[in-house]
Amino acid sequence: MVRYWLAGVLVLLAACSDRTSSTTIVFAVATAPSMLDPRLASDAASERVNALLYDRLVELDEHGNPQPKMANWEAVTDRRFRLHLQADRASFWDGRVPDADDVVATYLGILNPRLASPHAGGLSHIDAMRALDAETIEVELSHADPLFPARLTIGILPAATARQPHALTDPMGSGTFAFVQRRADDSLIVRRRSDGQEIAFEAVADPTMRTLKLLRGEANLLQNDLPPELLDYLAGRPDVALQARPGTTFAYLGFNLTDPVLAQREVRAAIAHAIDRAAIVRYLFAGRAEPGESVLRPEHWAGADGLQARIYDPERARRLLHEVGYEADRPLTLSYKTSTDPLRLRIAHVLQQQLAQVGITLQIASYDWGTFFGDIKAGRFQMYSLAWVGVNSPDILRYAFHSVSQPPAGANRGRYRSVVVDRLIETAETLSATQAAVLLREVQRQVHEDVVYVPLWYESNVAVSRGVAGYVPGYDGNYLALENVRRSDAR
Amino acid sequence: MTRLMGGVLDTLVVLFGVSLLVFLLLAVVPGDPVDVVLGESAQLADRQAMRQALGLDQPLPVRGLQFFHDLVRGDLGMSLIQRKPVTMLIADRLPATLLLAVSAFAVVVAIALPAGLIAARHHDRWPDRAVQAVALLGLSIPNFWLGPLLVLLFSIGLGWLPVSGNQGPASLVLPALTLGLSMAAVSTRMLRASLLEIMSQPYLRTARCKGLGEGAVMWRHALPNAMAPLVTVLGLQLGALLAGAVITEVVFAWPGIGTLLIDAIRQRDYPVVQGVVLVIAVGYVLSNRLADLVVARIDPRISTP
């Protein structure tokens, strides 16, 4: 009996064990990349890895400007674009150089309803796309979109794969890394094409265990998703390198504008003046965040520089509440929904305490992510807090503030309605980037003026490394610096 | 034979009930699978088409019938995120969970049997009190805290074992200990109580009068008779090990169905959640049935099929 039991255990062990080579650089991530098909990936973990595996026509720089990658482009008319593949583009891992047919198949594949791609919505105005020759592609749009090149950031697949209306099983790209293996534990091994260095992405959900793995040498790199106390601890260790870089993740406090209390601008402004953002950044983020005023960073080409911050002024907050009839004998009680994430809950309790100083009782309701997000989309809330992650397209302004973008048609979760803002967004969409930027800044100014939400902060991207050098976190949390990372014991 | 058939029928009824419950729970839980697949920026027409493709435009009873029709054929649907069959995802991960559960079960038995015997044999003396105190400690420490403590001691402090993941047999030790220790505490207390009750029985006095040593009395006469309640508890624990492994798997990044379940919940991958919950429930039911059969074999007076 014991023999059979032992034999069973050995068989299971053999089936389950996976060893990582000692020369491999291990990147411990909170979430494993779940989808290696760039047409279907929409979660941040997958998109960051796919950016390593698949080359793209265009990439966005730190200011959100499209830059030629595999291709440059020319606007033939306001609805027709011609894309020219670069002569020095990288080959697929099998040695074949991607051509126009691959590009067309990838984008038309995304638009195939049978594939059900989450990227189809943003490309739905492509009327036609055809290869003029092996190096040139022409795109016809149903309406003018001067910013169209910025949408061409999806990884290119070989045509034969891209025509399949289902998720690819064998990744094949022309990125700087090649796919090696997807292990049973969902960890992923990729190989740098320039020198053969292998990188393993291992999912470790628990931040403490991720940190312990780093300290024991089982992992070399961590990025984000670490609580500030762990970061402070790691920052004090001489064998660990910690780098923080300004990020694009923008946290905000949202209001339900259909709520009779929060429909009053004075109440929203009072809340904005009652929140001491600097203290939260200092104590809860240990300085690894910076107060922000708009979803697009001021450095973005459409970013609104010079928006006047609503400074922390409890006296002014009390005065504003007094103007709309809220006093000590008629206190204001509001509900605030958040997720179960420990940091978000901690922030909620600080907000509760800060709002109490001006006479607002905040009732915190914390739910699992699905319930919380479902409630927000359904409009079942008074106040909530969320963050926009990796935003670098001005499309976010239509998506979050246009009247027609109320869920499920978009992410105007506060149900904001403004004829002025709608008109500005619609007009901007027909103009060149330079002209559009002026109107888009005006949109952000108007949204800020209307206190549609309380802007909180941009969260920094933090990378922690041990035993490796050359890695810096990307501005939007991307992993592109893995192209330069090396083991520090390597010659 | 009739009794056995009755048992199988009972099991099938329970499994049907569990499946129905899982289906209904997932049907009423907040969140829209269409959002998961297409994202918030999808066009209305695409959303409607996807709703139709997923069968979500059908009334609940129709969806329920379809679910059971697929289930009978072993089809648990397709993952919304990974776009792979759920059965395939579960089949990939189940061996790791079974390995962890079996190892943790071995920890439970290896600790509970000697500890329970020692406690009962030295009733109300210091070994009994020590065992009870340790058992209480084991019951009181949650897995998500015990795991990192063990890691701090054995991985960081002593450097003997890996922190997490699955890098070979050594990786199994800490998750199995974490999962097994608290359950061992329950079994130890159960065995001790059961032995103490049996030790006051006249037939043990007779055995002693016949000149048998205390060890032989305990091992040959007391333990076999104290096993029935312990086996029942172990059966429950074996099922609970599958469910309880969820937390431990997440803490140790163990690649089993627990981490698959948590990822699926986070990503609102409903078919995967449904499939994993069903597998855990089936594991629970089957392990209990197995325990019933073993108890009936140990003590024929118990007429459970």
Contact A284, A228 (CB under 8 A): yes
Q: Is residue A167 part of a domain?
A: no
Please report whether residue A271 resides in a domain. Answer: yes
Q: If you count them, how many residues does chain A have?
A: 491
If asked whether residues A280 and A424 sit together in one domain, one would say yes
A26 in the same domain as A87: no
pTM (two decimals)? 0.83
pLDDT at A160 over 70: yes
pLDDT of residue A455: 95
**Quick check: is A393 in a domain?**
yes
CB–CB of B166 and A185 under 8 A? yes
Q: Is B58 exposed, middle or buried (0-12, 13-18, 19+ CB in 10 A)?
A: middle
Note whether A40 contacts B83, CB cutoff 8 Å: yes
Q: Residue B129: pLDDT band by 50, 70, 90 thresholds?
A: very high
Q: What pLDDT score does A322 carry?
A: 94
CB A390, CB A480: distance < 8 Å: no
**Chain B residues in contact with A374 (beta carbon < 8 A):** 30-32
DSSP B244-278: HHHHHHHHTT--SHHHHHHHHHHHT-HHHHHHHHH
Query: Which secondary structure element, helix H or strand E, spans residue B14, and what is its range?
Result: helix B2-28
Same domain? For A91 and A211 the reply is no
Chain-chain contact of B265 with A120 (C-beta, under 8 angstroms): no
Looking at A162, A195, A225, the residue that finishes a domain is A162
CB spacing of A208 vs B148 below 8 angstroms:
yes
Q: Are residues A107 and A204 in the same domain?
A: no
Total tally of structural domains belonging to chain A: 3
Higher pLDDT, A139 or B79: A139
Are B38 and A121 in contact (CB < 8 Å)?
yes
For helices B223-251 and B170-199, give the axis angle rounded to 10 degrees. 150
Q: Tell me which of A31, A40, A206, A402 to substitute to probe the interface with B (most B C-beta atoms closer than 10 Å).
A: A206
Residues A437 and A478 placed together within one structural domain of the fold: no
Contact A424, A250 (CB under 8 A): no
- Give the number of other CB atoms < 10 A from CB of residue A3: 7
Q: Are residues A354 and A423 in the same domain?
A: yes
Asked if A184 and B255 come within 8 Å (Cβ–Cβ), the reply is: yes
Q: Does residue A39 lie in a domain region?
A: no
Q: Which pLDDT score, from 0 to 100, does residue B302 have? A: 63
Chain A / chain B CB contacts < 8 angstroms: 170
Rg of chain B taking only CA atoms, in angstroms: 24
B190: pLDDT strictly greater than 60: yes
What is the average pLDDT score of chain B?
84
- Shared domain for A337 and A189, answered yes or no, is no
CATH architecture of B91-298: Orthogonal Bundle (1.10)
The closest CB to that of A206, out of B47, B172, B251, belongs to: B251
Residue A339 contacts residue A384 (beta carbons within 8 Å): no
Q: In the predicted model, is pLDDT for residue A290 greater than 90?
A: yes
Domain presence at residue A190: yes
Selected for mutation to probe chain A from B26, B51, B79, B99 (highest A CB count within 10 Å) is B99
Residue B59 CA: distances (Å) to CA of A280, A398, B62, B271: 48, 34, 5, 18
Same domain as A451, residue A322:
yes
- Containing domain of residue A285, as a range? 247-459
A392 and A373 in a single domain? The answer is yes
List, as one string, the DSSP characters of A171-182.
Answer: ----SSEEEEEE
Residue in A120, A203, A373 nearest the CB of B46? A120
Do A367 and A254 belong together in one domain?
A: yes
Touching check for A184 and chain B: CB below 8 Å?
yes
B191-240 residue pLDDT tens: 888 888 888 788 888 888 888 887 788 778 888 877 777 888 888 777 77
pLDDT confidence bin for A108, thresholds 50/70/90: very high
Give the mean pLDDT of B133-150: 88
Is A116–B37 a contact, with Cβ atoms under 8 angstroms apart?
yes
Q: What CATH number is associated with residue A229?
A: 3.40.190.10
- Name the nearest CA neighbour of A147 among A119, A121, A122: A122
A365 touches chain B (CB under 8 A): no
- Given this model, what pLDDT does residue B81 score? 83
H or E segment at A337? strand A332-338
Residue-level pLDDT at B305: 46
SS3 category, A115: coil
Q: Cβ of A13 and B96 within 8 Å?
A: no
Return the domain boundaries, chain B: 2-72, 91-298
A341 shares its domain with A399: yes
Strand partners, A335: A363
Terminal CA-to-CA distance of chain A, rounded, Å?
Answer: 53
Preferred mutation among A17, A215, A380 to probe B, highest tally of B CBs within 10 A? A17
B192-206: b (≥16 Cβ within 10 Å) or e: bbbbbebbeeeebee
Kindly give, in sequence order, each residue whose CB lies less than 8 Å from that of residue A254, ignoring residues fewer than 6 positions away.
A376, A381, A383, A384, A385, A386, A413, A414, A453
**Residue A330 belongs to a domain with what CATH number?**
3.10.105.10
Contacts of B95 in chain A (CB under 8 A): 12, 15-16
Which chain A residue lies closest to B145 (C-alpha atoms)? A208
